[in-house]
Amino acid sequence: MSELLRIENLSAGYGEAVVLHDVALALGEGQTLALLGRNGTGKTTLINTLAGATRQHGGTITLGGVALNKLPPHLRAAAGIGWVPQERNIFKSLTVNENLTAVERPGKWNARRVYEMFPRLAERKGNLGTQLSGGEQQMLAVGRALVVNPSLLLLDEPLEGLAPIIVEELLRAIRRITQGEGLAAIIVEQHPQAILAISDSAVVLDHGTVVHTAEAAVLKTQPEVLERLLGVAR
């Protein structure tokens, strides 16, 4: 397995405020990383930093041999970053189909394949973003990230605030995208057991630093460790 992502000595934040301190991690091609931690520990900041939406104060980020440090967000997307932020950031004044085709890049993922994975979106391809439910907007946000045809998918709390039936549908889709299609991913989530079940490795952040790394399958069987690190056993 070849290395896809390497982060070394990363410090980043917003303006002069430094949130991440000396973060280091690596991810192989086709691997899924669960990024865990209590609220306010820097998880979203790390995702945003990879996508180019924060100020980097130090360290390096390399994706597929390309240094991302100085690249703006649109060039990071071209280099292989697919980003699904917490806010989803779909174009609400465009239709579902327009949202997908507006950002589509050549590759194996296209609007047709997104519709196959999310039949709900196929049924609503002519609907505006404002006419979608929260779960449908999340599916569209994932689809938009996929049609960029990235090598690394960043998912920031993709299950937040969704009905259980939609959570199960999204988890099946994420499992297919990562385990079935071999797309590498970093997933931030407040439901550790759900994400650990579909991840290869796990990193726990606290106060902007990495405090624990483990194989996801091992951490999933250690409720006492999850309780100590996250305050949740399940």
Whole-model pTM: value is 0.95
Same domain, 176 and 234: yes
Mean local confidence (pLDDT), 16-30? 97
**Element (H or E) spanning 3, and its range?**
strand 3-14
Same domain, 116 and 156: no
- pLDDT of the residue at 190: 84
Q: What is the CATH number of the domain that holds 183?
A: 3.40.50.300
- pLDDT of the residue at 232: 63
Same domain, 69 and 182: yes
Sheet containing 209-215: which strands, arranged edge to edge? 81-84, 152-156, 184-188, 32-36, 201-206, 209-215
pLDDT in tens, 170-203: 999 999 999 999 999 999 988 899 999 999 999 9
- pLDDT of the residue at 108: 95
**What's the domain count of the chain?**
2
Same domain, 76 and 87: no
- pLDDT of the residue at 191: 84
| Interstrand relation of 55-63 and 3-14 (parallel, antiparallel or unpaired) | antiparallel
pLDDT in tens, 196-229: 999 999 999 999 999 999 999 999 999 999 999 9
Q: Using the predicted structure, report yes or no on whether residue 160 has a pLDDT greater than 80.
A: yes
Same domain, 171 and 190: yes
pLDDT in tens, 71-126: 999 999 999 999 999 999 899 999 999 999 999 999 999 999 999 999 999 999 99
Mean local confidence (pLDDT), 128-157? 96
Tokens in use for 93?
A: 């004044």
Same domain, 224 and 110: no
Provide the mean pLDDT of the chain: 95
Domain that holds residue 119: 83-149
Q: 55: alpha, beta or left, given left = phi > 0 and alpha = psi -120 to 50? A: beta
Q: Using the predicted structure, report yes or no on whether residue 137 has a pLDDT greater than 70.
A: yes
Task: List the end-to-end C-alpha distance of the chain, in Å, as a whole number.
Answer: 31
Same domain, 122 and 49: no
Q: Which of 134, 149, 164 delimits the end of a domain?
A: 149
Same domain, 90 and 141: yes
Q: Which of 111, 126, 149 delimits the end of a domain?
A: 149
Residue 91's Cβ-side half-sphere holds a number of Cα atoms within 13 Å equal to 14
pLDDT in tens, 40-54: 999 999 999 999 999
Same domain, 164 and 51: yes
Q: Determine phi and psi for 61, rounding to 5 degrees.
A: -130, 120
User: How many CB atoms neighbour CB 1 within 10 A?
Assistant: 8
Q: Which of 97, 125, 149 delimits the end of a domain?
A: 149
Query: Which own/partner pairs from 52-58 qualify as long-range (CB within 8 Å, at least 24 positions apart)?
Result: 52/76, 52/81, 53/85, 54/12, 54/13, 54/14, 54/19, 55/12, 55/13, 55/14, 55/15, 56/10, 56/11, 56/12, 57/11, 57/12, 57/13, 57/18, 58/9, 58/10, 58/11
Going by pLDDT thresholds of 50, 70 and 90, the confidence category of residue 231 is confident
